Structure 1
């Protein structure tokens, strides 16, 4: 998809929306980024925004409740949306229709239907909307993907994730805290490592007897991926002892051997092949996502994480939840089609609804 660009001889001027814990991480990242200028911070509570800017050493930075209004007064090119997931759809929609590019935190939206709406809004406005899946911008994950390419035909990819965090608050009250709040990271990374999209999901989610969560804090999901590859995710958020990396522990199995990654150090290739020489990734974390976003706005290139490319990661989450609740194998295309119908019912922008209605295949619209 083509999108508007900005001149390469001026800094990328950014308004940060959301000044909570994730917003503060983005604030320091934006301030430190070369050729990027933070011009304002918005939050539903302007005092929270003011506190964040003061703590960062920028007490005179403009703050307010409306990111679009701040962008208009400061000449911003883009919005970094670090608001809560429920706010992603209204904040990003308003920014796109105001002529602003958006770099958003995961998940793309609170629901898959809203995610499809945002993809269509990006098409209608011609603005770039990129989702920052921070763990995909991990140089070690790039190295694992490169090793996977050396293994010939692939059969299985696995992720094991076992932690025991005591968050308190909303996560401990969610119906599916592990799948909805955390598993989107490895699901998204699996798509990247395999270079393949999901076809179907079967998942069992449960809550161990000792769990301090109200909902299902443990799950095992099996995804059929394109080409017949299987991706298997097993995880728990109430598993004390021998905890894995926050990235999980990974194994890729192919016809020529295997590759393993402990999530914290470089991956290891165990195969009788001569690895192809590849340059290491220059990007890392949310700083890498911001760098790629800025480069895309200057060159017109389509970045990894552009909204259409990202939506299928959220579809994997929704399919896993549906399978866990129904006890049945769920087709990804069925999940996409039902979300598309919901998006058409809920859409309030006539031109966005028309764009959605023009999608004869949701998968094709997302992967073209």
Structure 2
């Protein structure tokens, strides 16, 4: 699921990037930008200018330009791309502003607060021809790539499970969220499951609950069972209030196929056990997988973002595909609320209707309208599995 996007010629100089958001994640991304020879930080945007100045000073650049407006500061300093690390509620307006200023965007997960807003951003990326990539940073893990490579020796895949058990005392907004685990964390494992299986979600049944000792206001534990597009099942079993014998932040994984199983504890090298095929067919032995180095977390996603802009190669996390990871979260929450299995296509249809209803820009609304075939929303057209429709003329 990808679409072509505008590239930026490699002139040998680092890509000039603007960081939007001077909060906690902003500091994480400042470190990644400072460590990369591929990019040059040319400014920081935040509604709180003192926070922006403090962030600049923290990396030894007290004179770095700061501002409250993304498009304006980008124009002032000659930025070539935007890194959006604002809070989720600001993802849609900030990314929209950047895209229509002619700037490609690398954004923190989730793509937006809702799938409907995410579809609006898909349309904005289509209309502007700019790359919008979501940083699903936990995909950028050499051991995850190794687990996927080992799975190639298992034949047909069928069963994937992720156990996630941690007990963080965050304080602040997470303690009061209605769905702290599903909204703030599970999107990582849901996205990793799509990567490991090379499959997308079809439906989900989910149950949320809150153990009696939980210090969270909302449900901090959940079990979700997804049907995937290849017929596989993915089961997530997790809790954010389970002290003792905690798993990796990446979760503990088991992937089963017709010829064996891959195990990965989330932190160390994965292992595989392969049994001879029942029909005597040759089976690829499980050994040390030879994999490329995807980089580490935000450092890896930043590197791929720059590479995509230089080469035109669609990156992991391009918005057209990544929105399905957010759809998995929304569908799981809906299932837990209704007690019913939720189909992803039905959720996307409802989100599409909401996106059309709420869209403020006529040009983006026209793109959204173009995704309807004979009056019905086509996810294949919208998300890139079918030929793109003719785009309407851009309206400023």
Report the TM-score range of the alignment, normalised by the length of the smaller protein: over 0.9
Deviations 1:171-195 (A, max 9, x none): 1111110001000000000000000
- 1:191 aligned onto 2:194: yes
Q: Does 1:3 align with 2:5?
A: yes
TM-score with structure 1 setting the length? 0.98
Q: Give the Cα–Cα distance (whole angstroms) in 2 for the partners of residues 144 and 335 of structure 1.
A: 31
1:274 aligns with 2:285: yes
On the 8 A contact 1:218/1:237 being kept in 2, the answer is yes
SS of aligned partner of 1:310: helix
Shift of the alpha carbon at 1:151? Answer: 0.7
**Counterpart for residue 362 of structure 1:** 379
For residues 93 and 282 of structure 1, what CA distance do their matches in structure 2 show? 28
TM superposition shift of 1:275: 4.2
Aligned match of 1:122: 125
Partner of 2:314: 302
Superposition RMSD on alpha carbons, in Å? 1.1
1:136 correspondence with 2:143? no
The answer (yes or no) to whether the contact 1:131–1:310 under 8 Å persists in 2 is: yes
> Which of 159, 164, 170 is residue 161 of structure 1 equivalent to?
164
Deviation of 1:349 (Å): 1.1
2:279 matched to which residue of 1? none
Gaps of at least 5 residues in structure 1 are: none
Q: Secondary structure at the match of 1:228?
A: coil
Name the CA shift for 1:210/1:282 in 2 (closer, same or farther; >3 Å).
closer
Give the conservation status (yes or no) of the 8 Å contact 1:340–1:362.
Answer: no
Deviates more, 1:73-82 or 1:1-10: 1-10
User: Which aligned pairs between 1:10-89 and structure 2 lie closer than 5 A?
Assistant: 10-89=13-92
Give yes or no for the alignment of 1:318 onto 2:321. no
Match of 2:390 in 1: none
Contact (CA 8 Å) 1:107, 1:314: kept in 2 or not? Answer: yes
Q: Tell me how far apart the structure 1 counterparts of residues 300 and 93 of structure 2 sit (CA, whole Å).
A: 26
**Corresponding pairs, count:** 368
Deviation, structure 1 residue 39: 0.2
Find the partner of 1:216 among 209, 216, 219: 219
SS in 1 for 2:97: helix
Render the CA deviation track for 1:101-135: whole Å, top value 9, x for unaligned. 00000000011100000001000000010000000
TM-score (norm 2): 0.91
Residue 35 (structure 1) shift: 2.5
- Structure 1 or 2: more helix by fraction: 1
Q: Please list every run of 5 or more consecutive structure 2 residues that lacks an aligned counterpart in the other structure.
A: 276-283, 373-377, 386-396
